[in-house]
Chains A and B, each alone.
Chain A
């Protein structure tokens, strides 16, 4: 919402300085976006004289002008205007100027091979009129001694731009803003003085509002003004319109706009001669069409509020008028409309048709239904003053009286909510200044709400009115109390937090990527999850919610590889989506690692990252988080985006149904499809939701400290087993032989090749044996030795290697 300080003062009697007014606006909730000089940026437009104009060598219709702009040397400007002749006084805009009409910034440019320094402007380009045929012609008498001077008078008038929240339609008019400021004590609201206009005869065009279901119009006021001469607006009106960054069109249109900006009272002017017999405000029929003032043809749905005549739709009430009945410069008779449309109806129609107009914006927020006559009077007065004409009596059709709503306000609520006290008299004054009718009864105020405040419906709204006018600085700052209702983090959140830092501590960079992704990448990682489309994606490359974190990780990995990085470790902890309903999501850690370990290292041989790198990271992370490594179980099943032979899944226990993690090499096909070029790419995923709560606290994890000081012995074994026999099974067989004696088992070699049958491999392991009761004798050791060999051979079909 823009307005000038001068305009504000037409409604507000105040001695306050501009800055005080500006500060007050922000303090009462009318946020000032900018406060600038009206003429800022217009200093580069100079009065200039064409000294010489000659034909452009390469273009018939262009001339090269030498222009005197008050400097020692003239400047060369290429100009296409037919009236650009020697000795003409005109307006020159130098390079860097911004043309008011189209906000284009000028620069030095070559036009058909001749350099032009700036531009000579038409009235249209300067937003002075619609004249665009030639450049501005200034009268010699007035301007001959002003060459080189600023064309626009340096205007000290300042424009305020407010950001008005959707609850305050009343402040979409200058008067409403003045009312708020007056209530806040920086001046007095002036009464609108209406000249006593002469009204003659009845409004001859019949108006009716039909009783359709959900009729969107409740009041339709109109008056007929006959015999007008529509013309350019007078200077004062043009300036007002221009000051708000709009363009003057004609007196009739400018006046309706002016009344709208001044009083937030939208009006519509019809060319009365183009109306077929009568005005009918009704619901549209499905399929009806009309051409709107934005020159678009709209096809209507049923039940939209339209203004129509005998021939069809004239316009969409409160949203946009139609071309068929629009006023033009030669319009003689005008029908002026001032109506009330129900916000819900406006919003529904404009959304369906995707129309956004100034009128729609206002009606949707709620126009004062009691401002019908004021709007007609103000506009009729101005039209007859500027364009002449005979004004008819006002015709007001209405189906709802729109009486003021009432509420009871218990003053104690104010202190209860804000924490400070304002005395009753002050409360009454504030509310009265805002337009409420107040009567006091004991502890309650009986309030009649002004009709321009559709946002106020209950006592809490009254608290807000009082506190914002009184000033938020009066609210005390109370020390926060530290009472805790429950633990800051629950178990799952603690786990999230722990795992996040645990993974990072293994050299991974945490990233945060979109929850959405490219469906083309997503399908590589989707498995059997449902694709979840976004109806209105920001771009076609971000059209689905991600089913896996690897979608975005691989995408950004590629970007970093393209930047020249090779050894990259990335992870993200966040949601993946399994369904389109709230809650159908899981929290996952996804991590990937590319390239080599120890690349270009002077003392360690480099190697490509492999499945055991990520297996280590997964297992270590889980162990750090407090899960028992001894009960983990690894299977060689994993989603299809992993290398089928070099990946696995981790279960917290052999009996668990769902794995808590996957790890492995990423499938080479995926690298190919995504055009990822790296020596190796491995990754892992941890499903936090499957990890489940720790039932034990740290103090419970610390069980009795038991240890043995008896001598321990180590024995090495090598078993020849089938090639696909799992090392995990071998360890399990051995460890379950005697849990008391067998303390640890370490695999130190895997061998295939010479001396080993082709379908076999040799697993060499070291077993530590120790008793907690005695020092084992050679015979004891021999016994367990034999037991290990015989058990393994029986259970696994292995052979001890001799």
Chain B
């Protein structure tokens, strides 16, 4: 009995020492090898009297288990240590730069068009488009701006032919005409796109972007127009309140016509929309002129509604603090990187316009 107790104590002692894998294996062999001390003790079992045998066997088994557990845990300890020391040698400088990634950008004009589309989608508008080259009829005449109308002077038109019949559209309003000619009321559309006027200075660019809006139904009145624009401006600038002013104005294709101003103030050199006592003109609108409806075969006694036109580039400038219109179209890599948007920032109804 005391023999096996001694073996146990001796080896537990040894196992508590700092061992490497070889000496651990050595101990394993000494105990459990063919002629190991524990193995040999088991061999003694047969020669013991019955009454002792049972107890000895039980003691021996428990000692065997204890030593085996100890060896196993020691083995694990050694392995962990070895892995750790190996990993320690594999250490890299994680502060070195990551692998290169490239990040593209969406142009502010595209982003703003998507924002506008998302906002109007919420109130049931769909998006229509039209050609950049228009004929004089769709761009002017059908829009109640006959050839002898002085309002044509307000549009510095690019012409494609000498007879002045083909031109680059001066506004997105011809899309109204095309949409109504090709369909039946009600109409509820916006039409964003490129527009052109032969005007070029600090605040004018020969190409710019407009979005046209049109809502025609049986009972659409100026109250709906006000409501629609009020909703749009608030949503676009992501503010709860907006100061808006409708002023009488004149466009040949709407009657009554209005220009819309929004309130703003300058805070720390930046424009803040919605507050303040200054007014900023941002769009033109009105009730579609009965002559226009007649020109597109819609009965003005049955149908009526509103139209509006907004400068997209200007909206973007106001919202994102961009000072120079010309820079929109100059493809300066630095500018695109700075004012461009991540392609994953998709404006949508459910997640909103921006983060």
Q: Contact residues of A with B, CB < 8 Å?
A: 26-29, 31, 165-168, 343-344, 347-348, 364-365, 416-420, 458, 460-461, 463-464, 467-468, 472-473, 475-490, 493, 497, 500-516, 532-538, 542, 545, 552, 556, 559-560, 563, 565, 568-570, 573-575, 577, 580-585, 598, 601-604
- Find out whether the CB atom of B124 lies under 8 angstroms from the CB atom of A515: no
Assembled-state Cα–Cα distance A509/B122 (Å): 29
Assembled-state Cα–Cα distance A461/B248 (Å): 12
- The prevalent SS among residues of B at the interface is mixed
- Find out whether the CB atom of A512 lies under 8 angstroms from the CB atom of B110: yes
Cβ < 8 Å to A, chain B residues 243-293 = 246-250, 255-259, 287, 289-290
Interface bits B323-340 vs A (CB < 8 Å: 1, else 0): 000001111111011001
Asked whether any CB of chain A lies closer than 8 Å to the CB of B132, the reply is yes
Least CB distance from B207 to A in Å reads 5
Q: Please, which residues of chain A bring their CB within 8 A of the CB of B100?
A: 598, 601, 604
Q: Please, which residues of chain B bring their CB within 8 A of the CB of A463?
A: 255-256
- Find out whether the CB atom of B133 lies under 8 angstroms from the CB atom of A585: yes
Q: Please, which residues of chain A bring their CB within 8 A of the CB of B135?
A: 582
A484, A512, A603: the one contacting B328 at CB < 8 Å is A512
B186, B196, B224: the one contacting A419 at CB < 8 Å is B224
Q: Please, which residues of chain B bring their CB within 8 A of the CB of A508?
A: 104
Asked whether any CB of chain A lies closer than 8 Å to the CB of B56, the reply is no
A348, A477, A481, A501: the one contacting B230 at CB < 8 Å is A477
Assembled-state Cα–Cα distance A560/B133 (Å): 30
Asked whether any CB of chain A lies closer than 8 Å to the CB of B131, the reply is yes
Assembled-state Cα–Cα distance A583/B198 (Å): 21
Least CB distance from A639 to B in Å reads 22
- Find out whether the CB atom of A509 lies under 8 angstroms from the CB atom of B256: no
Q: Assuming A165-B250, A365-B150, A573-B110, what are 8 further A-B pairs, CB within 8 angstroms?
A: A343-B148, A417-B256, A506-B102, A510-B105, A532-B160, A559-B331, A581-B166, A582-B135
- Find out whether the CB atom of A510 lies under 8 angstroms from the CB atom of B158: no
Q: Given the known A-B contacts A29-B250, A477-B227, A488-B125, are A512 and B107 also in contact in the complex, defined by CB atoms under 8 Å?
A: yes
Assembled-state Cα–Cα distance A419/B328 (Å): 40
B104, B126, B162, B194: the one contacting A486 at CB < 8 Å is B126
Assembled-state Cα–Cα distance A49/B63 (Å): 126
Least CB distance from B139 to A in Å reads 10
Least CB distance from B227 to A in Å reads 4
- Find out whether the CB atom of B223 lies under 8 angstroms from the CB atom of A477: yes
Assembled-state Cα–Cα distance A533/B337 (Å): 33
Q: Please, which residues of chain A bring their CB within 8 A of the CB of B246?
A: 472-473, 475
Assembled-state Cα–Cα distance A643/B273 (Å): 51
- Find out whether the CB atom of B106 lies under 8 angstroms from the CB atom of A511: no
Least CB distance from A362 to B in Å reads 11
Q: Please, which residues of chain B bring their CB within 8 A of the CB of A584?
A: 131, 133
- Find out whether the CB atom of B110 lies under 8 angstroms from the CB atom of A29: no
Pairs A–B under 8 Å by Cβ, sample size 8: A31-B259, A467-B248, A485-B188, A510-B110, A559-B331, A563-B332, A580-B133, A582-B166
B107, B121, B129, B249: the one contacting A511 at CB < 8 Å is B107
Q: Given the known A-B contacts A166-B250, A168-B250, A570-B331, are A515 and B256 also in contact in the complex, defined by CB atoms under 8 Å?
A: no
Name the residue on A nearest B103 (C-beta): A507
- Find out whether the CB atom of B123 lies under 8 angstroms from the CB atom of A482: yes
Q: How many residues of B contact A (CB 8 A)?
A: 90
- Find out whether the CB atom of A504 lies under 8 angstroms from the CB atom of B223: no
Cβ < 8 Å to A, chain B residues 297-355 = 304, 328-334, 336-337, 340, 343-344, 346
Q: Please, which residues of chain B bring their CB within 8 A of the CB of A509?
A: 104-105, 333, 336-337, 340
- Find out whether the CB atom of A416 lies under 8 angstroms from the CB atom of B221: yes
A26, A501, A538: the one contacting B343 at CB < 8 Å is A501
Asked whether any CB of chain A lies closer than 8 Å to the CB of B161, the reply is yes
Q: Contact residues of B with A, CB < 8 Å?
A: 96-97, 99-100, 102-107, 109-110, 114, 117, 120-127, 129-135, 138, 148-151, 153-154, 158-162, 164, 166, 168, 186-188, 194, 196, 198, 200, 206-207, 219, 221-224, 226-228, 230-231, 246-250, 255-259, 287, 289-290, 304, 328-334, 336-337, 340, 343-344, 346
Name the residue on B nearest A570 (C-beta): B331
Assembled-state Cα–Cα distance A581/B138 (Å): 13
Assembled-state Cα–Cα distance A197/B257 (Å): 44
Least CB distance from B164 to A in Å reads 8
Q: Please, which residues of chain B bring their CB within 8 A of the CB of A510?
A: 104-107, 110, 336, 340
- Find out whether the CB atom of B223 lies under 8 angstroms from the CB atom of A420: yes
Assembled-state Cα–Cα distance A504/B337 (Å): 12
Least CB distance from A713 to B in Å reads 33
Q: Given the known A-B contacts A473-B246, A575-B194, are A560 and B333 also in contact in the complex, defined by CB atoms under 8 Å?
A: yes
- Find out whether the CB atom of B331 lies under 8 angstroms from the CB atom of A556: yes
Assembled-state Cα–Cα distance A365/B250 (Å): 13
Least CB distance from A531 to B in Å reads 11
Assembled-state Cα–Cα distance A468/B259 (Å): 12
Assembled-state Cα–Cα distance A401/B122 (Å): 56
- Find out whether the CB atom of A472 lies under 8 angstroms from the CB atom of B223: no
- Find out whether the CB atom of A511 lies under 8 angstroms from the CB atom of B331: yes
- Find out whether the CB atom of B304 lies under 8 angstroms from the CB atom of A487: no
- Find out whether the CB atom of A480 lies under 8 angstroms from the CB atom of B224: yes
Assembled-state Cα–Cα distance A575/B222 (Å): 35
- Find out whether the CB atom of B248 lies under 8 angstroms from the CB atom of A505: no
- Find out whether the CB atom of B117 lies under 8 angstroms from the CB atom of A488: yes
Q: Please, which residues of chain B bring their CB within 8 A of the CB of A583?
A: 131, 133
Q: Please, which residues of chain B bring their CB within 8 A of the CB of A27?
A: 247-248
Q: Please, which residues of chain B bring their CB within 8 A of the CB of A532?
A: 160
- Find out whether the CB atom of B151 lies under 8 angstroms from the CB atom of A166: yes
- Find out whether the CB atom of B227 lies under 8 angstroms from the CB atom of A417: no
Q: Please, which residues of chain B bring their CB within 8 A of the CB of A484?
A: 124, 126, 188
- Find out whether the CB atom of A602 lies under 8 angstroms from the CB atom of B97: yes
Least CB distance from B144 to A in Å reads 11
Q: Given the known A-B contacts A166-B151, A509-B105, A538-B206, are A460 and B289 also in contact in the complex, defined by CB atoms under 8 Å?
A: yes
Q: Please, which residues of chain A bring their CB within 8 A of the CB of B255?
A: 460-461, 463-464
Least CB distance from A468 to B in Å reads 4
- Find out whether the CB atom of B127 lies under 8 angstroms from the CB atom of A493: yes
Name the residue on B nearest A479 (C-beta): B227
Name the residue on A nearest B256 (C-beta): A464
Q: Please, which residues of chain B bring their CB within 8 A of the CB of A493?
A: 127, 129
Name the residue on A nearest B288 (C-beta): A460
- Find out whether the CB atom of B250 lies under 8 angstroms from the CB atom of A167: yes
Q: Please, which residues of chain B bring their CB within 8 A of the CB of A603?
A: 96, 99
A480, A559, A601: the one contacting B231 at CB < 8 Å is A480
Q: Given the known A-B contacts A472-B248, A489-B117, are A503 and B104 also in contact in the complex, defined by CB atoms under 8 Å?
A: yes
- Find out whether the CB atom of B223 lies under 8 angstroms from the CB atom of A515: no
Assembled-state Cα–Cα distance A582/B168 (Å): 9
Q: Given the known A-B contacts A504-B343, A508-B104, A569-B104, are A166 and B126 also in contact in the complex, defined by CB atoms under 8 Å?
A: no
Ranked nearest first, the 3 interchain pairs of A and B with the lowest CB-CB distance are: A507-B102, A29-B248, A165-B250
Q: Please, which residues of chain B bring their CB within 8 A of the CB of A560?
A: 331-333
Name the residue on A nearest B151 (C-beta): A166
Q: Given the known A-B contacts A419-B223, A602-B97, are A580 and B161 also in contact in the complex, defined by CB atoms under 8 Å?
A: yes
Least CB distance from A207 to B in Å reads 27
Q: Please, which residues of chain B bring their CB within 8 A of the CB of A167?
A: 250
Least CB distance from B257 to A in Å reads 7
B222, B227, B230, B328: the one contacting A418 at CB < 8 Å is B222
Q: Please, which residues of chain B bring their CB within 8 A of the CB of A563?
A: 332-334
Least CB distance from A27 to B in Å reads 7
B96, B106, B126, B132: the one contacting A585 at CB < 8 Å is B132
Q: Given the known A-B contacts A509-B336, A514-B207, A514-B329, are A537 and B158 also in contact in the complex, defined by CB atoms under 8 Å?
A: yes
Assembled-state Cα–Cα distance A577/B158 (Å): 15
Q: Please, which residues of chain B bring their CB within 8 A of the CB of A552?
A: 331
Assembled-state Cα–Cα distance A468/B96 (Å): 68
Assembled-state Cα–Cα distance A27/B132 (Å): 36
Assembled-state Cα–Cα distance A537/B134 (Å): 16
Residue with the highest number of chain B CB atoms closer than 10 Å, among A166, A490, A503: A166
Q: Given the known A-B contacts A165-B250, A477-B226, are A468 and B256 also in contact in the complex, defined by CB atoms under 8 Å?
A: yes
Assembled-state Cα–Cα distance A486/B110 (Å): 22
- Find out whether the CB atom of A582 lies under 8 angstroms from the CB atom of B333: no
